[in-house]
Amino acid sequence: MHSKKVLVILSDGHSFPLKRNTGHDAGKVVDQPSGYFLQELAKPLNKILNAGHEVTFASPQGREPAPDPSSESLVANAGNFYERQREYNLIERMKRENGFSAPRPFNTISNDELTTFAAVFIPGEHAPLQDLAGNAELGRILRYFHQENKPTAVICHGPYALLSTKKAGDGSFVYNGYKITSWSDAEENLMETLWGGEANKVESTLRNEGAVMVEGVREKTGGTTLHRELVSAGNPVAANALGDRLDPVSYTVPIRIISEHFVLNGIVFDLKSQFLTQVDPKKAHKAHSPTHPTPPHHTKWAGFWAHPSGPSVRRGEGNK
């Protein structure tokens, strides 16, 4: 297996804005301590590294990232002291060996260097609410991965960073129409009750920008959502599953839907079926039409997914 490079996006924020709605400071916006959520970073990161890939950490200004205090508690690890220690040790190793304490500022990663990365990953917790959504340099980076159909993974509050694409290019939200799972408004409302304040909502904000939000029991209990190049998840329970789906080697290659049929290795496939099926070539007259060219294998087209190792093809969206 060839090693691939994965870009890991972190926030410089050690807090996020919370508007108090109770107490003596009701109506004031305060800095609520936060950072990255340990499990949401460490579990996918461990999967990436164990698969033999390299990682590069990047953030808006290159500030040392901070863990969210709540993510280091035994409660967050369901009482599993050893799992918490393994994740803590992994981050400490990244500090020693991989520049975790001094991430690359976004503006130091050129467009040419972006071509060397196979995937991008954005962990969650509330820090992304502070400085990622409005960052034009991050918007440039994410637009590259979107345009090149390269795996993009986000979890919890990480999907909020997708809004940065509005700050770059033509100013459009490039994930308009995408199915996305994030930290839900219902979960945020619970946290707001505990804090006595109001925070920006990920789910409703993305929905207002045109995303199709996928939120349900499955998503609360470890499910992930895949749509085109984007894989997303809602909370730490799904961190391992997200890591499993963020494998830049086994990741599937997008193919654009251009007609009802297309030809692959001399076999005509029906694009209308749930799973692509072989059909009678005489019925697939559109496949060779000048306005419906046959897509070659291994090209980066959106809509359906062809596995790089062979001709098997499946839909490029779904849940797991």
Reduced to 3 states (helix: H, G, I; strand: E, B; else coil), residue 24 is coil
Residues 6+ positions from 266 with CB-CB distance below 8 Å: none
- The parts of the chain modelled with pLDDT lower than 50 are 252-263, 265-266, 268-317
pLDDT score for 2: 67
Phi, psi of 205 (to 5 degrees): -65, -45
Strand pairing class (277-278; 267-270): antiparallel
Exposure on the CB side of residue 101, measured as CA atoms within 13 A:
5
Place of tokens 């009701």: 26
| Prediction pTM value | 0.78
Q: 124, 84, 122: which is closest to 103 by C-alpha?
A: 122
Q: For residue 232, how far is the Cα from the chain centroid? A: 5
* Digit-coded pLDDT (tens) for 31-60: 999 999 999 999 999 999 999 999 999 999
Which residue intervals of the chain are DSSP H helices?
A: 38-50, 81-97, 111-114, 128-131, 136-147, 185-195, 202-208, 217-220, 239-245
pLDDT score for 219: 86
Residue type, 258: I
> Is the separation of the CB atoms in 143 and 169 below 8 Å?
yes
At 246, list the tokens: 């963020």
All structural domains of the chain, each given as residue ranges with its CATH number in brackets, are 5-245 (3.40.50.880), 253-319 (no CATH)
CA–CA gap between residue 73 and residue 69 (Å, rounded): 7
CA–CA gap between residue 312 and residue 314 (Å, rounded): 7
Q: What is the three-state SS of 62-110?
A: CCCCCECHHHHCCCCCCCCHHHHHHHHHHHHHHHHHCCCCCCEEHHHCC
pLDDT score for 157: 96
CA–CA gap between residue 225 and residue 245 (Å, rounded): 10
pLDDT score for 71: 79
At 290, list the tokens: 């000048």
